[in-house]
Amino acid sequence: MTALAKLLRTTAFKIVAVYLLVFALFAAGIILYLGRHTQQLVLSQITETIDAEIRSLDEQYRIGGIRRLVETVERRAAQPGSNLYLVTTYSGDTIAGNLTETPNSVLERQGWSEISYRRSEEGSGTAARPSRAVVRVFFLSGGFRLLVGRDFEERDRLRQILARPAMFAFVLIVVMGVAGGIFVARRVLKRIDAMTATGERIMLGDLSGRLMVTGSGDEFDRLANSLNAMLERIEALMTGLKQVSDNIAHDLKTPLTRLRNRAEEALRGAKTEAGYRAALESTIEESAGLIRTFDALLMIARAEAGEARKGMTEFDAADVAESVAELYEPLAEQKGLHLEVDTKGPLPIHGNRELVGQALANLVDNAIKHGRPETPGSNGEIRISTGQEAGHVLLSVADHGPGIPVEDRGRVVERFVRLETSRSRPGAGLGLSLASAVAHLHGGELRLEDNTPGLQVKLVLPTTPHERT
């Protein structure tokens, strides 16, 4: 691409060109308008003067006849820079005046016309250069004809006077237009270029880069702010992803290693069919656990990416709470826990019933795992309740288990995080992560609170469809 073609392609050039064109057209318009107006003004002044002259000469003629008229005309014509005068007989012979070579056709009818003429100069007798004038022919009562005219010289001079500054102004406007265009274009494009540069840097992998915000609150600031917010989210997601892959590496490798060890051990040690069978069965069991963990991870990832938003419908949250409670009630009873259900429906919300159900199931599952059976210190109750709060539906699961210390509450929703107290129990540490991801998918949140003693987990979901900002 040649340098010129490159220049023509830049937005700066386009902006300047358009800016200049508009500016120049505007300036030319104003100048033309002003010039035309001035000319018309001058012309109307000329005609007024001529009209007044004719009236006064006509008056002289009425008062003193042709002689007085001739005298007056001679006198006025002798003055320098005067009007044009001509008095003729009916047949067109000149009686008085300072005009020579008048075409007869002009004198034959009354009214206005534009002529070119030569003024007869005093003394020299020679005719001067031809020039143009506007004249009015008037028939006097005695058959004489009177012509009064005025040179366009005045108008032309005025035009000259106007033309020079107009040209100057035009040039000035064009120069200013170009300068203004370049200024605006550079100012705008500099920021766009800066944004492009930042974008490229980010694409190269530096996710911490942010666009400059000047603080003026203009469109660029708003654009930069929203792009920065987007980058913020991308960075958070990337960090999450990295952390997850670290965790996956750690937490999936352990069962994978176990799996392999068992298989190897069976190959090495088992001598009987029963031995092989047992080893294979435990291998299958282990891989089922791995698949479950993997499925949960995928589900969390998809909930976090917002993919499940397509499958959202209206459903009754109270109904979900009841069905989940009903599902887990026998299990709780088996573990010596009371599952109390306190729902006040219907609580219509917009969301993914399946995911909300699973999130709640995870919470109840956790509560059953960690809840303490009926002992002197605890009544072994797990309480599932629903509530409402300013456009949100609350699904709450409370237990009287060991609870979660305040300092750990932010951490437990992360993937694979299990507190030491629960390491010995089954579970991959994904239950709360999934519940939290589901809450965020719906534009809500997961709250962990103290149940003194125990833990109360609240799934807070908005009742209306949520647009992620």
Partner 1 sequence: MRLLVVEDDREAAGYLRKAFREAGHVCELAADGEEGLALALDGEFDVFVIDRMLPKRDGLSLISEIRKRGVTTPVLILSALGQVDDRVTGLRAGGDDYLAKPYAFSELLARIEALARRVAPQAADTVYRVADLELDRLAHSVLRAGKEIVLQPREFRLLEYLMRHAGQVVTRTMLLENVWDYHFDPQTNVIDVHVSRLRSKIDKGYDKPLLHTVRGTGYMIRDGAR
- Give residues in contact with partner 1 (CB under 8 A): 281, 284, 288, 291-292, 295, 298-299, 302, 307-308, 310-311, 323, 326-328, 330-331, 333-334, 352, 354-355, 357-358, 361-362, 365, 368-369, 426-427, 431
Nearer residue to partner 1 within complex by CB, 109 or 310: 310
Contact 211, 227 (CB under 8 A): yes
Closest to partner 1 by CB, 302 or 350: 302
Minimum Å gap between C-beta 432 and partner 1 is 12
Backbone angles phi, psi at 92, to 5 degrees: 105, 5
- Name the residue nearer to partner 1 (CB basis): 206 or 333: 333
Q: How far is the CB of 221 from partner 1 (least distance, A)?
A: 38
CB of 353 to partner 1, least distance (A): 9
Residue of 58, 85, 61 whose CA lies nearest to 73: 85
CB of 307 to partner 1, least distance (A): 7
Comparing CB distances to partner 1, the nearer of 149 and 431 is: 431
> Minimum distance from CB of 430 to partner 1 (Å)?
9
181 versus 429: smaller Cβ distance to partner 1: 429
Residue 185 CB, nearest approach to partner 1 (Å): 48
Shortest CB 383 distance to partner 1, Å: 18
Which residue type does 217 have?
A: G
Shortest Å, Cβ 414 to partner 1: 18
Q: Which is nearer to partner 1, 391 or 426 (CB)?
A: 426
Shortest Cβ 467–partner 1 spacing (Å) = 19
- Closer to partner 1 by CB, 361 or 461: give it: 361
> Beta strand pairing status for 338-342 and 381-389?
parallel
SS (H, E, C) the chain: CCHHHHHHHCHHHHHHHHHHHHHHHHHHHHHHHHHHHHHHHHHHHHHHHHHHHHHHHHHHHHHHHHHHHHHHHHHHHHCCCCCEEEEECCCCCEEEECEECCCHHHHCCCEEEEEEEEEECCCCCCECCCEEEEEEEEECCCCCEEEEEEECHHHHHHHHHHHHHHHHHHHHHHHHHHHHHHHHHHHHHHHHHHHHHHHHHHHCCCCCCCCCCCCCCCHHHHHHHHHHHHHHHHHHHHHHHHHHHHHHHHHHHHHHHHHHHHHHHHHHHCCCHHHHHHHHHHHHHHHHHHHHHHHHHHHHHHHHCCHHHHHCEEEEHHHHHHHHHHHHHHHHHHCCCEEEEECCCCCEEEECHHHHHHHHHHHHHHHHHHCCCCECCECCEEEEEEEEECCEEEEEEECCCCCCCHHHCCCCCCCCCCCHHHCCCCCCCCHHHHHHHHHHHCCCEEEEEECCCCEEEEEEEECCCCCCC
Q: What is d(CA 83, CA 76) in angstroms, rounded to the nearest whole number?
A: 8
Cβ closer to partner 1: 301 or 394? 301
Question: Which is nearer to partner 1, 357 or 403 (by Cβ)?
Answer: 357
**What is the closest distance, in whole angstroms, from the C-beta atom of residue 15 to partner 1 in the complex?**
47
- Smallest distance, Å, CB 310 to partner 1? 6
CB-nearer residue toward partner 1: 142 or 330: 330
Which is closer to partner 1, CB of 88 or CB of 358? 358
Exposed, middle or buried by CB within 10 Å (0-12, 13-18, 19+), for 327? middle
Question: How many other C-beta atoms can be found within 10 angstroms of the C-beta atom of residue 3?
Answer: 7
